[in-house]
């Protein structure tokens, strides 16, 4: 029987689902480059270098391994993640049973929210925010409650606590922070932990940038005494393994088991070669190579030295991660329009603040090749000079 095409509709939930804007911008920039245009792609949140050679070698030796692993990951990998995280955070409760290995941090966040959030439950997200955080909350039927950060992009604990109510289930933290690159102050984190004391609210700490820090004064959010805590992390950003899709969550056993149950249906285990890559990274302490940090510091300085000479642009020097979040409100009313024009006229691709619930801003990722970055900065400088005339 012929089906009436008008009835083959998408599920209602798809109406609010949009492609990750950061990935979409990156795709668009790459497409323009493939068409032969000169593009300076400062959209992507990923290191420009290849997979480290020692990881390539270690994985190559394990390529015969083709079988399923437990959905929560290889036992030795869970053990090593538990051991290194226990030491890194100084949290003695972290054992292998608390660790679930996932095919990147996105399923880790999805499974955590899926395990905790009932339809209609609220999850607080400080904004600006990475879009996948709010989108994943909505995908599990929750309500993303966006709470603006302070003007210098720290947690606004008073604003957060003002939005807490009986439906509040969780708060997502991300420090160093995407898209602003700021690190949350110790005082704001401790104030939040005190405000959440004895509550049923879980803090989900997206720690993907914690190993890319430039400020000595960095405080790891999980060390601030949150009673209900899920840590999400992975190997993408610090080990140049974005395309390998390998991450993990650390939670109390009940949540870890629930998340594993979900993932056993959705992804099964994270790919074996990626788990092997993670084991290799851990064998060297899961630290970014010193050269990577040096390169990032140098490129951060390069951007800082250029941007500070451009009148009417404002920004905060990032304390971690690899983003500058530029305040364009002194020069334009529409950051999306401004970014589009910048791309069309100069080939420089940034991510407009609209992608992070922060119109008026643009995110510049400084992890590209230095020559490309230098040329892109020059283009931005000239574009601003032309547009403010
Ligand atoms: N987190 C990265 C970024 O913000 C990856 C892009 C994405 O997954 O949306 O650029």
Dmax of the chain from CA atoms?
Answer: 68
| 44 Cβ inside 6 Å of ligand 1 | yes
- Rounded Cα distance between 361 and 356, Å, is 9
What are the beta bridge partners of residue 41?
349
- Residue having the nearest C-alpha atom to atom 1 of ligand 1: 45
Q: How far is the CA of 5 from the centre of ligand 1 (A)?
A: 35
Q: How far is the CA of 345 from the centre of ligand 1 (A)?
A: 25
Q: What is the pTM of this model?
A: 0.95
Q: How far is CA 155 from CA 174, 185, 200, 223, 285, in A?
A: 10, 8, 20, 16, 30
Instruction: Look up residue 384 and give its two tokens.
Output: 């601003």
Residues of the chain with pLDDT under 70: 1-8, 389
pLDDT at residue 8, rounded to an integer: 67
pLDDT at residue 4, rounded to an integer: 60
Instruction: Look up residue 171 and give its two tokens.
Output: 């708060």
98 in Cβ contact with 122 (< 8 Å): no
Nearest alpha-carbon partner for 247 in 50, 144, 54, 111: 111
- Rounded Cα distance between 93 and 90, Å, is 9
Q: How far is the CA of 167 from the centre of ligand 1 (A)?
A: 29
Residue 38, classified by CB atoms within 10 Å of its CB into exposed (0-12), middle (13-18) or buried (19+), is: exposed
Q: How far is CA 379 from CA 64, 165, 321, 335, in A?
A: 48, 47, 23, 17
- Residue having the nearest C-alpha atom to atom 3 of ligand 1: 45
Task: List the 168-173 sheet strands across, edge first.
Answer: 99-102, 247-250, 229-234, 202-206, 168-173, 122-127, 143-148
Atom of ligand 1 nearest to the CA of 45: 10
Atom of ligand 1 nearest to the CA of 131: 9
Nearest alpha-carbon partner for 199 in 174, 222, 170, 220: 170
What are the beta bridge partners of residue 213?
320
| 236 Cβ inside 6 Å of ligand 1 | no
| 336 Cβ inside 6 Å of ligand 1 | no
Atom of ligand 1 nearest to the CA of 22: 9
Nearest alpha-carbon partner for 279 in 73, 47, 64: 73
Atom of ligand 1 nearest to the CA of 106: 8
Q: How far is the CA of 149 from the centre of ligand 1 (A)?
A: 20
Residue 322 dihedral angles phi and psi, to the nearest 5°: -140, 45
Computed over its alpha carbons, how large is the radius of gyration of the chain? 21
- Rounded Cα distance between 371 and 299, Å, is 10
Buried residues in 223-243 as b, exposed as e (16+ CB within 10 A): bbebebbbbbbbbbbbbbbbe
């Amino acid at each position: 029987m012929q089906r009436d095409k008008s009835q083959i509709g998408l599920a209602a939930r798809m109406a609010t689902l949009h492609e990750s804007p950061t990935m979409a911008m990156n795709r668009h920039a790459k497409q323009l480059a493939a068409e032969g245009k000169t593009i300076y792609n400062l959209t992507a949140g990923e290191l420009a270098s290849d997979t480290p050679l020692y990881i390539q070698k270690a994985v190559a030796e394990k390529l015969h391994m083709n079988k399923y692993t437990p959905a929560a990951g290889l036992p030795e990998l869970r053990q090593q993640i538990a051991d290194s995280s226990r030491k890194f955070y100084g949290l003695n409760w972290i054992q292998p049973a608390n660790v679930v290995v996932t095919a990147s941090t996105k399923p880790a966040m999805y499974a955590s929210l899926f395990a905790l959030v009932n339809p209609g439950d609220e999850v607080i997200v400080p904004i600006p925010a990475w879009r996948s955080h709010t989108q994943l909350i909505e995908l599990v039927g929750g309500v993303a409650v966006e709470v603006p950060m302070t003007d210098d992009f720290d947690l606004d604990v008073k604003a957060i606590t003002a939005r807490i109510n009986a439906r509040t289930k969780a708060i997502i933290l991300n420090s160093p922070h995407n898209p602003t690159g700021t690190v949350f102050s110790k005082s704001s984190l401790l104030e939040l932990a005190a405000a959440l004391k004895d509550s049923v609210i879980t803090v989900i700490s997206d720690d993907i940038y914690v190993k890319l820090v430039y400020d000595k004064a960095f405080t790891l959010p999980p060390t601030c005494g949150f009673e209900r805590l899920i840590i999400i992390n992975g190997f993408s950003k610090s080990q140049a393994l974005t395309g390998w899709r390998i991450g993990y969550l650390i939670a109390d056993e009940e949540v870890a088991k629930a998340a594993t149950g979900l993932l056993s249906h959705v992804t099964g285990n994270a790919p074996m070669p990626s788990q092997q890559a993670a084991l290799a990274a851990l064998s060297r302490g899961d630290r970014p190579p010193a050269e990577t940090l040096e390169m990032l510091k140098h490129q951060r300085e390069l951007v800082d030295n250029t941007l500070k000479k451009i009148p009417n642009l404002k920004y905060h020097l990032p304390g971690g991660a690899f983003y500058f979040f530029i305040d364009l409100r002194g020069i334009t009313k529409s950051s999306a329009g401004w970014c589009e024009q910048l791309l069309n006229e100069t080939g420089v691709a940034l991510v407009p603040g609209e992608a992070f619930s922060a119109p008026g801003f643009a995110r510049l990722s400084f992890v590209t090749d230095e020559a490309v970055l230098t040329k892109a900065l020059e283009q931005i400088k000239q574009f601003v000079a032309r547009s403010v005339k």
